[in-house]
Amino acid sequence: MRIAIIGFGAAAVGFLKEVDSNKHEVIVYEMNKDIFSSSISGIRADGKLFVSSEMGGDLEEILFDKQLQKEIVDYYSELSETEPEIGTRENLEELQKKFFINGFKLVESEFFHIGTDKLKIFLKNAHEEFVRKGVHFKFNSLVKDIEINEKVIVEYIDREIREEIKEEFDRVYIAVGRSGFKLIDTLTKKYPDIILSNTKVDLGVRFELPDIVVKELNEALYEFKVKFKSSNGQLVRTFCNNPSGYVVTEKYSDFITVNGHAIHDQKSTNTNFAILVTHSFTKPFNDPNGYGSYIAKLSNILAGGNKVILQTYGDFKKGKRTKKLWKVFPTLSSEEYVLGDLNLVFPSKTSVSLIEFIDNLNKIIPGVADEENLLYGVEVKFYGKKLDNNLFENLKFIGDCSGQTRSIVHATAHGIIEARKLIEN
Ligand SMILES: Cc1cc2nc3c(=O)[nH]c(=O)nc-3n(C[C@H](O)[C@H](O)[C@H](O)COP(=O)(O)OP(=O)(O)OC[C@H]3O[C@@H](n4cnc5c(N)ncnc54)[C@H](O)[C@@H]3O)c2cc1C
């Protein structure tokens, strides 16, 4: 069978690791110029892996298969030639209780941190392994459209020669992650029946504070994931905690957001994590990604162009523009942010939810609500439309673009599962 994989991220890794390339001709199209380039893919930044039945995606066959999740962690650790950083899990019950009585739910999970630096080794080793297996890679190839007939036609732009090319396959696996939302939009407009649901977007800030404030929690858990319900009913959660890490920007084609990562062999003295508020919509509105993109663009416009906004927590609460920093210093380069007021960006219910979350967290971790801690905005997590993989025999969606996964482990597992289905047939 002639098979195309669109995108070389976590889902593609899972698929390629498993597929028998003696039986099939497999070609991977990746829009970036090589395996390392992409600011919007977690297998190129940070690399926090987790084993949990409470997070990472919605597919039960992955959520409840901890054995498969552990195998994936081992695969990433082995190919990145590293021993992942982990938490001691000391006093776990005590911590769970403290969170519970203050209105939070601590999500149960084991965490393994690979690090941005070690992911480069992983990518190099994985790519070499796949090439040895006979997989063909086409870099600089941006897939614009897919046509489904008896065969599947992949239409892509070869960015080197700037030419549009069409190729024919028996089956295509779309694995474009979140950054491939344009291709997904094109396909869902053309084949609207593949959308199962499309209701949510997460919006919030990247929060940064000195390591010393959260040292105990970092040592016990490495990553702490908690959920909280604000007084207006919105769900607020932490995401992607980076002890001794760095805040970074994430560049989409027409806006910039914030994110964070940590490096295995280079440490800062600050911890950062995202605080995200889930925004759920009902009919007639059906474009949560559009909503998130507009809010992100608004923050860039207020920051004078291609920048994000930075504000102290004290000023955010008072609704004042931040003019000076003196106690906590940002790890993001000063060329990438402007001191401003995030209240001009967020709807008031989002600001209320963020403030309630931080003030309540301060009861468990004194110092979190210090007026000088930093908020960067905005951070957005696009859920992606949930897509139906049973509609077409010859077109499948794997990983985050399917709307069914939200993490490296789950996206990789999704690729593995779809490759196994192919092998069984
Ligand atoms: C900065 C950052 C840090 C993260 N950190 C973590 C973490 O620590 N732990 C964790 O579990 N999750 C993390 N995530 C989320 C994680 O990266 C994703 O859940 C996971 O990578 C999804 O895998 P995927 O294969 O679906 O997509 P991706 O890994 O995003 O791969 C998609 C690939 O498709 C390519 N592509 C997109 N569109 C096209 C197109 N039209 N044509 C050709 N190629 C295309 C992209 O360039 C990319 O290489 C992070 C995400 C980001 C952005």
Residue of 381, 408, 410, 414 to mutate, ligand 1, most atoms within 8 A of C-beta: 408
**Domain count across the chain:** 2
The token pair at 412 is 């990789």
Q: Is residue 81 part of a domain?
A: yes
Q: Whose CA is nearest to atom 41 of ligand 1?
A: 143
- Is 187 close to ligand 1, i.e. is its CB under 6 Å away? no
Mean pLDDT of the chain: 94
The residue-averaged pLDDT of 84-101 equals 89
**Alpha carbons 312 and 322: distance in angstroms, whole number:** 6
Beta strands 2-6 and 171-174, pairing class? parallel
pLDDT at 42 over 80: no
The residue-averaged pLDDT of 32-51 equals 82
Same domain, 73 and 171: yes
pLDDT value for 252: 87
pLDDT value for 67: 97
pLDDT value for 283: 84
Percent of the chain with pLDDT over 70: 99
The residue-averaged pLDDT of 158-162 equals 94
Q: Whose CA is nearest to atom 8 of ligand 1?
A: 48
Same domain, 167 and 288: no
**Residue 382 CA: distances (Å) to CA of 11, 67, 290, 348, 352:** 17, 28, 10, 21, 21
What confidence category does residue 331 fall into, taking pLDDT thresholds of 50, 70 and 90?
Answer: very high
- Is 273 close to ligand 1, i.e. is its CB under 6 Å away? no
Tell me: the pLDDT tens digits for 287-323? 898 999 999 999 999 999 999 999 999 999 999 999 9
Looking at the DSSP assignment, which residues form a beta bridge with residue 312? 374
What is the number of alpha carbons within 13 Å of residue 36 lying toward its C-beta?
A: 9
pLDDT value for 91: 85
Same domain, 14 and 161: yes
Same domain, 350 and 393: no
pLDDT value for 198: 81
pLDDT at 203 over 90: yes
**Residue 96 CA: distances (Å) to CA of 50, 93, 102, 122, 136:** 18, 5, 10, 34, 48
What confidence category does residue 40 fall into, taking pLDDT thresholds of 50, 70 and 90?
Answer: low
Tell me: the pLDDT tens digits for 113-140? 999 899 999 999 999 999 999 999 999 9
**Alpha carbons 394 and 151: distance in angstroms, whole number:** 8
- Is 32 close to ligand 1, i.e. is its CB under 6 Å away? yes
Task: Decide if 199 contacts 288 (C-beta within 8 A).
Answer: yes
Same domain, 128 and 224: no
What confidence category does residue 39 fall into, taking pLDDT thresholds of 50, 70 and 90?
Answer: low
Q: Flag the least confident range among 27-31, 75-79, 142-146, 194-198.
A: 194-198
Same domain, 189 and 292: no
Task: Decide if 203 contacts 380 (C-beta within 8 A).
Answer: yes
What CATH number did the domain enclosing 125 receive? Answer: 3.50.50.60
**Alpha carbons 294 and 277: distance in angstroms, whole number:** 16
Residue of 41, 86, 112, 263 to mutate, ligand 1, most atoms within 8 A of C-beta: 41
| Amino acid, single-letter form, for residue 83 | E
Looking at the DSSP assignment, which residues form a beta bridge with residue 51? 110
Same domain, 24 and 166: yes
Core vs surface per residue 276-314: b (16+ CB within 10 A) or e = bbbbeeeeeeeebbebbbebbbbbbebbeeebbbbbbbe
326: CB partners within 8 A, 6+ apart: 372
pLDDT value for 384: 79
The token pair at 37 is 């380039």
Same domain, 243 and 167: no
Same domain, 147 and 223: no
Q: Which atom of ligand 1 is nearest to the CA of 10?
A: 25
Q: What are phi and psi of 144, to 5 degrees?
A: -100, -35
Q: Whose CA is nearest to atom 29 of ligand 1?
A: 9
The token pair at 244 is 């001794």
Task: Decide if 316 contacts 375 (C-beta within 8 A).
Answer: yes
**Alpha carbons 32 and 8: distance in angstroms, whole number:** 9
What confidence category does residue 405 fall into, taking pLDDT thresholds of 50, 70 and 90?
Answer: very high
The token pair at 151 is 């065969």
Beta strands 25-29 and 2-6, pairing class? parallel
pLDDT at 250 over 80: yes
- Is 397 close to ligand 1, i.e. is its CB under 6 Å away? no
Residue of 176, 187, 257 to mutate, ligand 1, most atoms within 8 A of C-beta: 176
Domain carrying residue 237: 200-382
Same domain, 181 and 43: yes
Beta strands 110-113 and 48-51, pairing class? antiparallel
Spell out where 134-283 has E strands: 136-138, 141-148, 152-158, 163-169, 171-174, 195-197, 200-210, 226-229, 235-242, 246-251, 256-261, 270-280
Same domain, 213 and 135: no
Q: Is residue 407 part of a domain?
A: yes
**Alpha carbons 238 and 255: distance in angstroms, whole number:** 23
Q: Is residue 133 part of a domain?
A: yes
Q: Is residue 59 part of a domain?
A: yes
- Alpha-carbon torsion (400, 402, 405, 408), positive or negative: negative
Residue of 49, 130, 179 to mutate, ligand 1, most atoms within 8 A of C-beta: 179
Q: Is residue 335 part of a domain?
A: yes
**Alpha carbons 413 and 396: distance in angstroms, whole number:** 15
Same domain, 276 and 415: no
Q: Is residue 169 part of a domain?
A: yes
127: CB partners within 8 A, 6+ apart: 35, 137
Q: Is residue 369 part of a domain?
A: yes
Q: Which atom of ligand 1 is nearest to the CA of 261?
A: 3
Q: Is residue 263 part of a domain?
A: yes
